[in-house]
Chain A
Amino acid sequence: MSIQPKTFRTTPFSIAAWIWAASLVVAPLLYIVSISFLSRGPYGGVQSPLTLTNYTRMTDGSMALTLLLSLGRSVALAGFSTVLCIFVGFPLALFLVFRAGRWRNALFFLLIIPFWTNFLIRTYAWMVILSDNGWLNHVLEILGLGPQYLHWLFTPQAVLLGMFYNYLPYMAMSLYVSVEKLDTKLLEAAADLGAGPVRRFFQVTLPLSVPGLVAGSIMVFIPSLGEFVIPDILGGGTNLFVGNLLAQQFLTVRHWPFGSALSVILIILIGACLVALEKVTKGHSEDLIA
């Protein structure tokens, strides 16, 4: 994935692209970085004395602990969500491509439909379903399992479920694109050479789906890392995630400079993750070629 020099040619189109990137990506980033070195104003704004305290504050005792704990929770949640999305999304993509036949487009459509509803509404809907006297428990009661059988709302499992539900389509879609490109002749060749279904999956389908797997994981893992709405709504805000910490600084405490400093650290961590992933998959694809 090397960028060819000609991409940088100054055609009107590429100038527009550069302006777009500069105003929508670079400028806000620079803004955040610069605020992170300022101080908090008396009414929540930012004011002039340049300072490093926003960063040094992260290293002292209780704040460092809170930060590390929330970061750990976020990474764990994002990791679990990604793994869960892979385990469900892969069979789903395989089913859509190989088994759905003429229902393929209709089913794919169904996968996307939830996105027409606002994200908050979808998440609150889960709250309604999962709460102690919610739909799920009603159904279970009708099935004879007793009143208020499950206590799911405000548990880590509910948070994971919400994350999974919201991010699955991204994973399924990028895997779908990869699996659809898979040449079925290769699967036939593998079968012809004596490979059963399991071996065909692990030796042909899986390795050739790595690009989709990587793309899907990036699309799930990175937004999950900063997620704070789902843990708030379905987790009851009992556990602090990095996203919550950030949102607090901006919305409740109104300490923008400290919030910005936290963002900068998070961005650096995500960037490091991406670089590492790029290294790993590049090594992998070089294995394919060399």
Chain B
Amino acid sequence: MPNSAKKAAVLEVIGVTKQFRGKIAVDCVDLQVANGEFLSILGPSGCGKTTLLRLIGGLEKPDRGRLVLNGQDITNLSAHKRNVHTVFQRYALFPHMNVFDNVAFGLRCKKIHENETRSRVEEMLELANLKGQGHRAIHTLSGGEQQRIALVRALVNLPKLLLLDEPLGALDLKLRLQLQQELVAIQKRVKTTFVFVTHDQQEALNMSDRVAVMNQAKVEQIGTPNEIYEFPKTLFAASFVGGINRLDGVLRIDEGGRCICEVEGLGGFFVEPPTEYRQAGVKGLICLRPEKVTLFSRRPSTIENVVEGTIRSQSYLGTHTQFEVLIKNGGVISVFQQNTQKLAKKVFQVNDKVFMGWQASLSHFFSYQALK
């Protein structure tokens, strides 16, 4: 039944909480990881990502909550008995063993026959692009090679779940981008479930099937990269993933029953807040992604929200141009415009007066009440 297996959760994290000396590191986290998926946990440094991963791996014990792996409660199972393996933040390769013995470590713990161990390790070394280099010492490997050995050292044990703690964090940008691709390719090939921790939103968006956004010990939103980016549920999710422009205001309802956010000094803008905040007097924020705004040299008549401003700066980036536009209340709105036409000259100049327009459905409204 591949279909139902696909849907079945490999891991369920149920209300897991962990404190260190009274300081909450993981706060009542609920998480379901489906079989074979690539789930990223995305959040700023110190938000509790590593702690959550250590709880799943069994290196920390939760104060409250349960962990269920493949239907079996593993909350009280010690780390070495869990069929979950980790790629550590700084790899933690054994310095006194060569590459082969590092990769073989897990199999030898399971007392797998030495012949089988050898063939499985060689297979993994091939996967890591280090075929036939098992005799090398760890300190002779480059950063990227160490990263790949750390990966296959965990993968060779065919874990139900592979945990990766910022595995690309220590690498330079170019290698990072290359290894992002490799990692996804490997995951598709071995079909192992990955839980991947990162603080880099690009990395999370481009690699994952689903992303869990974490902030201050809590998981704020879980969804596909598209959902997270286009339909953020919280201001934090909206601002941590991608850039946003913010406009402060108060809601009112017009005769047609539509919500309008009155922004001081700029006027009213149509918004579509979640139902519970759809009432007059609610204070909040309009959030607007730079690429959702269109620039016009004359006031457009067909677009419901328009704000006037003066271009303060622009940078031409080939695929798109980035503008910083000064608006009347003193704020700045950044706008990305696709360069869809072939033009030899700039369309707008600095200090040009422009109009920025967007449809209400392209913006987000977050109530300040929800932020508390």
Contact = CB atoms under 8 A, between A and B. Distances in A.
A208 B80 contact: no
Contacts of B157: 193-194
Contact of B137 (A185, A189, A196, A288): A288
Contact of B78 (A183, A190, A191, A289): A191
Given A192-B85, A193-B154, A183 B92 contact: yes
A186 interface: yes
A191 B58 CA distance: 9
A218 to B, nearest CB: 21
Residue of B57, B92, B154 most packed against chain A (CB within 10 A): B92
Interface in B1-58: 57-58
Contacts of A199: 109
A195 B59 contact: no
Given A189-B94, A208-B96, A290 B79 contact: no
Given A185-B90, A288-B137, A193 B96 contact: no
A186 B91 CA distance: 9
B96 A192 contact: no
B96 A191 contact: no
B256 interface: no
B94 A192 contact: no
B357 interface: no
A178 to B, nearest CB: 13
Contacts of A186: 92, 94-95
A204 B137 CA distance: 16
Interface in A163-185: 183, 185
Nearest to A207: B96
A148 to B, nearest CB: 50
B106 interface: yes
Contacts of A193: 80, 85, 105-106, 109, 153-154, 157
Contacts of B84: 192
A194 B96 contact: no
Contacts of B90: 185
A188 interface: yes
Q: Which of B79, B86, B88, B157 has the most CB of A within 10 A?
A: B79
Interface string B51-81: 0000001110000000000000000001111
A191 B110 CA distance: 12
A185 B86 CA distance: 11
B139 interface: yes
Given A186-B94, A189-B94, A207-B96, A194 B80 contact: yes
A207 to B, nearest CB: 5
A89 B222 CA distance: 51
A193 B78 CA distance: 12
Interface string A267-290: 000000000000000000000111
B74 to A, nearest CB: 13
Given A189-B86, A289-B137, A290-B137, A194 B109 contact: yes
B91 to A, nearest CB: 8
Contacts of A194: 80-81, 106, 109-110, 157
Q: Determine chain A's interface SS by DSSP, over half rule.
A: helix
B86 A192 contact: yes
A230 B151 CA distance: 56
Interface in B236-292: none
Interface in B72-130: 78-81, 84-86, 88, 90, 92-96, 105-106, 109-110
A166 B59 CA distance: 39
A89 to B, nearest CB: 21
Contacts of A288: 95-96, 137
A188 B137 contact: no
Contacts of B86: 189, 192
Contact of A189 (B78, B88, B96): B88
Interface in B124-154: 137, 139, 153-154
B79 to A, nearest CB: 4
A229 to B, nearest CB: 39
Contacts of A191: 58-59, 78-80
Contacts of B139: 289
Nearest to A192: B86
A204 B85 contact: no
Contacts of B153: 193
A203 B58 CA distance: 20
Nearest to A195: B109
Contacts of A289: 137, 139
B88 A185 contact: yes
B296 to A, nearest CB: 56
Contact of A188 (B92, B95, B106, B109): B92
A196 B105 CA distance: 12
A188 B236 CA distance: 33
Interface in A184-227: 185-186, 188-196, 199, 203-204, 207-208
Contacts of B85: 192-193
A196 B77 CA distance: 12
Nearest to B84: A192
A188 to B, nearest CB: 5
A4 to B, nearest CB: 20
Residue of B80, B81, B95 ringed by the most chain A CB atoms within 10 A: B80
19 contacts: A183-B92, A185-B90, A188-B59, A188-B79, A190-B94, A191-B58, A191-B79, A191-B80, A192-B80, A192-B84, A192-B88, A193-B85, A193-B109, A193-B153, A194-B109, A194-B110, A199-B109, A203-B94, A288-B137
The 5 closest A-B pairs by CB, nearest first: A194-B109, A193-B106, A189-B92, A185-B92, A191-B79
Given A207-B96, A208-B95, 10 more contacts: A183-B92, A191-B58, A191-B59, A192-B86, A193-B105, A193-B106, A194-B80, A195-B109, A196-B109, A204-B94
Interface of A: 183, 185-186, 188-196, 199, 203-204, 207-208, 288-290
